[in-house]
Structure 1
Amino acid sequence: MKTNDPLKNQIFEIVENQMRDNNPKETNITYKRLIELGFSKTESKQFMSQCLAIELLDVLEYKKPFNEDRYINNLKNLPKDPSS
């Protein structure tokens, strides 16, 4: 599957902003946990970006509200694939 680099970069930026703002706090907790598991910084952000992409798809394509509970739950379950 071909990736959309501008979109990927924007999602990475959102994840980085969440980490900087510590909102939700689970972003930093998840990032640190993934690093401790041996994943690189980039790999860790890629995992986290997958969780965010699921939520953004629902918001943009299906006009659903952002599901922060599901987002946080998916972060907590990484590196397991996120559920939609």
Structure 2
Amino acid sequence: MQNEEIMTGDMLVEIVENQLTDSNPIKVKETLMRLMMTGIGRDEAVQMIACALSIEVFDVAKNEGSFDLKRYTENLAALPDMPWEFED
């Protein structure tokens, strides 16, 4: 199970890196720049973005729904606070 979790994390980071390269969605690049301007290192910032992405990936897998760009954008805007920190 642990190897699968690491692979999944690596895959999420790869997706984020692709989003950054493609500037799509642009909010990912904007979020990276904003986080880095606050003193967060690039690698840590990419990990945070990958966490926000994981919420969408999990929801799509669990609920067989579609990717919710609006919610992903809202989760990116909340960083560096992690979105699940707000849940009771």
Q: Indicate whether the TM-score tops 0.5.
A: yes
- Looking at structure 1, the residues matched to 9 and 48 of structure 2 have their Cα atoms a distance apart, in angstroms, of 12
Gaps of 5+ in 2: none
Greater helix percent: which structure? 2
RMSD: 1.6
**Displaced runs of 4 or more, over 4 A:** none
1:10 aligned residue:
11
- Looking at structure 2, the residues matched to 80 and 52 of structure 1 have their Cα atoms a distance apart, in angstroms, of 14
Deviation at 1:61, TM superposition (A): 1.6
Deviation at 1:24, TM superposition (A): 0.4
2:24 aligned residue:
23
Q: Percent identical across equivalent pairs?
A: 34
Q: Kindly provide the CA deviation profile for residues 24-57 of structure 1, in whole angstroms up to 9, marking residues without a partner as x.
A: 0000000011011111111101110111000000
| Matched residue count | 83
TM-score (norm 2): 0.87
TM-score (norm 1): 0.91
Gaps of 5+ in 1: none
